[in-house]
Structure 1
Amino acid sequence: MMQAITLICRQLLGNDHVQGSRNKIEPAIQAMQDEPGINWSVAALASLCGYHPVHFTKLFKHEMGVTPKHFIIRERIKRAKLALLQGEKLELIAERFGFKSLHYFSYQFKQETGLTPTEFRMNGRFGEDG
């Protein structure tokens, strides 16, 4: 029943393939950007868009080029960069943006930027993609 309602709503709203799949995943993108510190599950994000988690993940990866998990990590790192430049403590940044530990935050930060959070702060600048 819920799938039928979702399908009807999509058709009424005009969310078909002509508008592009970005519109179909926009509620999830918006949620992750608005609240990057939440531990979003794929099921919760898929539910926001009215999809099964497997289909949502495929659609998301096709449209964004990364998985939902990688997207949220990127969003968190973007915000962490600004917090670092504003002098916030690493522990508080890690906690605020949903990283399980300072070590995991530092690891993900280095994977994404090529620098540790401390190196980034010492350089005092954003990378090419901000």
Structure 2
Amino acid sequence: MDTSRTHPWLRRVRDRIDREYGKPLDVEALARAAHIPAGHLSRQFRTAYGMSPYAYLTARRIDRATLLLRGDLDLEAVCRAVGCATLGVFVTRFTELTGLTPESFRSGLAGDPAGSVDGPGAAAAAGIEAMPVCLAQRVARTVRNQEAPARHRPLT
């Protein structure tokens, strides 16, 4: 496959997800805008970025939610701001990706004067707002619990 033609449209799709994560987006809509079949988009996106477009969108929404939870917005307002369909879906995805519920993430921030949280969400809570988006996403990228490395226990 000719990467000179592939990468620009993949970057446009990724950039659109980064810009419009709060809006209803699905793979079909992203594929229509890129003028390619949805299956092709999913395969190429996964090859280029290591995750499906939906997983990238979800991770982007949760990354943003970790920043919004530092403010005064209530949980439903954060859920709406990041484009999640329902509060239940938001709480489930947040917990899957960070290992903490939104409430425990927020209470961890309130209990620590430095505003940090121990655990997978710590990088997102450490004041990354001033970083460029591309760097902040690498630093604060959430990791699904099943992707997190397992702790090795000695057999004895």
Same fold by TM-score greater than 0.5: yes
Paired with 2:64 and 2:39, the residues of 1 have a C-alpha distance of 28
1:85 and 2:70 aligned: yes
Q: What does 1:97-108 correspond to in 2, within 5 Å? A: 97-108=82-93
Which one of 104, 109, 122 corresponds to residue 127 of structure 1? 122
Which one of 17, 20, 32 corresponds to residue 35 of structure 1? 20
1:71 and 2:56 aligned: yes
Give the C-alpha shift of residue 98 in structure 1. 1.6
Which one of 81, 93, 97 corresponds to residue 112 of structure 1? 97
Aligned counterpart, 1:11: none
What whole-Å deviation, never above 9, does each CA across 1:25-69 have from its counterpart, x for those lacking one? 111111111111112121211123231111111001111111111
Aligned counterpart, 1:7: none
Paired with 1:21 and 1:123, the residues of 2 have a C-alpha distance of 42
TM-score normalised per structure 1: 0.79
Paired with 1:63 and 1:50, the residues of 2 have a C-alpha distance of 18
Aligned counterpart, 1:57: 42
Aligned counterpart, 2:32: 47
TM-score normalised per structure 2: 0.67
Give the C-alpha shift of residue 94 in structure 1. 0.7
Aligned counterpart, 1:95: 80
Give the C-alpha shift of residue 119 in structure 1. 1.0
Unpaired runs of 5+ residues, structure 2, are 110-115, 124-138, 141-156
Paired with 1:35 and 1:102, the residues of 2 have a C-alpha distance of 19
Tell me which moved more, 83-92 or 40-49. Answer: 40-49
Aligned counterpart, 1:8: none
Unpaired runs of 5+ residues, structure 1, are 1-15
Structure with greater helix percent:
1
